[in-house]
Amino acid sequence: MLTDDQLLRALRDRFGHPSFRPGQLEVLRAVLEGRPTLAIMPTGAGKSLCYQLPSLALDGVTLVVSPLVALMKDQVDALSHRGIPAAYVNSLQSEEERQRVEAELARGRLKLVFVAPERFRSASFRESLSRTALALTAIDEAHCVSEWGHSFRPDYARLGEALDALQSPRRLALTATASPDVRADILRVLRFRNALVAVAGFDRPNIHLDVHSLSTEPEKRDSLLAAVRAHHPAIAYSATRRQALQLAKFLAQHGVAAAPYHGGLDPQERSRVQEAFARDRLEVVAATNAFGLGIDKPNVRLVVHTEVPRSLEAYYQELGRAGRDGLPAVAALFFAAKDLFLQRALMRQASPRPQVVLELWRALVSSGRPLTREELGRLVHPRGREILASLAYLEGIGAVERRGRPAAVRLEVSTEVDPEGESAAAAVVRLLGGRRGLVLESRLMASLGCPTPQALYAELVRLRARRQLGWREVRSQSAYRPRDGGALSEEHLRALRIRLSRDHSRFEQMIELARGQECRRRALLRALGEPHDSTSCGACDVCAGHRIEPVRSQLSLARASARPAATRVDDARQLLLTSRDLERVTPADGPATSKDATAPSGAKEKSWQVQ
């Protein structure tokens, strides 16, 4: 094992840093000793060095599990620039590129390989790892095990199983924030035994914490506009995609270089926004929680939450993107009581109820065949994102597995076609058992005698030109089936009930922080498991006043009372969220990758793209 002096020399020679930051050396010692380690370090505290430096000292490959493709690419580029052989494997690569990396991995030519947790589903990748001498497996953004493990990234919840199968001699988990119960989740799910939990400290004294009570959306927009004009670059977080789009539009209309960012945008657009912000061509990104992980911009001067976040952990994680250069920055929270209805509705959509999970499981078991989300939605009530969350939970506990369903074609045959005839259109009518319906490409090819998909679509184009049928290709869908040996037990349902209760408790903690008059920093750090004894932090609105001033409503009470009674009633209705409104709300995003609800229309999105 390397001595502290040897580690310091490697730090200076290979990475150009004069000294270790707080907590790094303790983590490095534990990793090199082979002790499972959970490292909790604030954003910008140098977490990545805790696996990069050991990779140079150890024989074999360091495998890094990361939730974001952009983060993988940035790290691989930086490591390659330092002469350290590194690569990544992700879904955006061609099959040829992935095979090349897996071949280099199997031959031991790489020191670090970055993968998403979903990569462990690939049989070829698991085979490459089985022939590889692993030195260390690092799980980056490990809080996803708790925050997203059941709702959005079920493969994070199965990483413990993957680590045991790999028999990795060293295990490291890293995150910027984790309260005591989240730490327990991480250690349990990743199966870390006799682990070291190293907490470098959560306090970011250069970030001034502001909470403002604002009652209307115009007040929020005007306050945000005033704040970003005084403090930028800035990130403005919203609970829904629609709100992010509306804020970006409002700011752009008032002369601020702003763009929206959410999981519904295509990857190229997200990359353009991210790059424009990194290069200071944008003053503000109006975003959902899809924006953040892996954003390494040191000079963000302001982070604004336009609604109350769902947990203190999420709040801390997002405000931590401000002031990474150590210079003064502001984190402002706009609090309105009416927003609580919205967040609670989103929580219901994202967190499945045990009875819905049980109903889904029974439907899958009794079906005898794989079912798509749409098919399940017709069998189980309620529909929508709670079904997605329930399926993600079942997948995370290993009860169900997801497979791609072959592409299909939706067809409608003209009434003028004789179903008893010998034409191709007549054969389609007989195949469908009627004049419209969905049929698998393979069955349609066999029925029409087309040897290839290309021949099939040429025939369909010919039939459409003759006005004999209309058709639309349907992309492959994920279908779910019970996993061999999988089961949903009462223990699983009990754990889910506990999780739901804890999620609600986390939200209540966030509300208490926003409404309270205690030092914001002390309340936040205490909830995250780090006592803060100072009676006054000097850097929050309670202890030192506001750093930004909200813009209050310009509508006087006299003018409001002068309106006709009928108008007042109509205006009040517009402020209320009905149950139908809540069903139409588009929730905020998850990582990396993937699992978002349908975005607003493309025309609206395109109007605010960065050029």
What is the H or E stretch that residue 52 is in? helix 49-57
**Above pLDDT 70, what percent of the chain?**
84
CA atoms within 13 A on the CB side of 271: 9
Q: What is the pLDDT of residues 396-440, one digit of tens each?
A: 788 888 877 667 888 999 988 988 888 899 999 999 888 988 888
Decide if pLDDT at 286 tops 90: yes
pLDDT tens per residue across span 513-528: 888 888 988 888 888 8
Q: What is the DSSP letter of 352?
A: -
Q: What is the pLDDT of residue 180?
A: 80
pLDDT band at residue 555 using 50, 70 and 90 as cut-offs: very low
What local confidence, expressed as pLDDT, does residue 138 receive? 93
DSSP 317: H
57 falls in which pLDDT band (50, 70, 90)?
A: confident
pTM over 0.75: no
Query: Which residue, 465, 460, 439, 438, is CA-closest to 450?
Result: 460
* pLDDT band at residue 591 using 50, 70 and 90 as cut-offs: very low
Lowest mean pLDDT among 194-198, 338-342, 563-567: 563-567
Residue 63: count of CB within 10 angstroms of its CB: 25
Q: Is pLDDT larger for residue 122 or for residue 570? A: 122
Report whether pLDDT(595) > 70. no
DSSP E strands in 105-263: the ranges are 112-115, 134-139, 171-175, 196-199, 207-213, 234-237, 258-261
Q: Is 437 left (phi over 0), alpha (psi -120 to 50) or beta?
A: left
> What is the chain's Cα-based Rg?
27
Q: Which whole-number Å values give the CA distances from 306 to 313, 333, 518, 525, in the listed order?
A: 17, 6, 21, 22
Q: How far is CA 2 from the centre of its chain?
A: 37
pLDDT score, position 248: 93
Q: What is the mean pLDDT of residues 52-69?
A: 86
| pLDDT 10s digits, 353-382 | 888 889 999 999 998 888 888 788 888 776
pLDDT at 600 over 60: no
Convert the pLDDT of each residue in 153-179 to its tens digit.
667 777 888 888 888 889 999 988 777
CA dist., res. 590 & res. 596, Å (int): 7
Query: Is the pLDDT reported for residue 599 higher than 60?
Result: no
pLDDT of residue 567: 26
**Cross-strand bridge partners of residue 86:** 112
Query: Which strands, in side-by-side order, build the sheet including 477-482?
Result: 371-372, 477-482, 400-405
* Mean pLDDT score across all residues of the chain: 79
| pLDDT, greater one: 552 or 138 | 138
Residue 303 sits at φ, ψ, to 5 deg, of -125, 125
Beta bridge partners of 210: 332
- At 609 the pLDDT is 27
400's enclosing H/E stretch is strand 400-405
Asked whether residue 263 carries a pLDDT value surpassing 80, the answer given is no
Give the pLDDT of residue 383. 59
Q: Beta strand 37-40 with 171-175: parallel, antiparallel or unpaired?
A: parallel
Average of pLDDT values for 272-291? Answer: 88
Residue 392 is predicted with a pLDDT of: 81
Q: Which of 20-34, 117-131, 549-563 has the lowest mean pLDDT?
A: 549-563
The answer to whether 320 and 42 have CB atoms below 8 angstroms apart is: yes
Span 307-326, pLDDT tens digits: 888 888 888 888 988 998 88
Q: Quick: pLDDT tens for 208-228.
A: 999 998 878 888 899 999 999
Average pLDDT, integer, range 254-270 = 85
Q: What residue type is assigned to position 173 of the chain?
A: A
Residue 590 has pLDDT above 80, yes or no: no
Helix 490-515 / helix 520-527 crossing angle, nearest 10 deg: 170
The number of residues in the chain equals 611
The whole-angstrom separation of Cα 520 and Cα 517 is 8
Q: What was the pLDDT predicted at 584?
A: 37
Q: Which residue has the higher pLDDT, 532 or 175?
A: 175
| 64 pLDDT tier (thresholds 50, 70, 90) | very high
Got the DSSP string for 54-111?
A: HHHHSSSEEEEE-S-HHHHHHHHHHHHHTT--EEEE-TTS-HHHHHHHHHHHHTT--S
pLDDT of 163: 85
Q: To the nearest 10°, the Cα dihedral for 157, 158, 164, 167? A: -100
Give the rounded percent of residues in the chain with a pLDDT score beyond 90.
19
Q: What is the pLDDT of residue 594?
A: 35
Predicted pLDDT at 602: 33
Proportion of the chain in helix, strand, coil states, percent, rounded to 5:
45, 15, 40
Quick one: pLDDT at residue 256?
93
CB 109 within 8 Å of CB 146 = no
Instruction: Please state the rounded mean pLDDT for residues 596-604.
Output: 33
Q: Which of 41, 39, 105, 117 is nearest to 72 (CA)?
A: 117
Most confident option among 31-45, 286-300, 318-332, 340-354 = 318-332
In the chain the first and final C-alpha atoms are separated, in Å, by 51
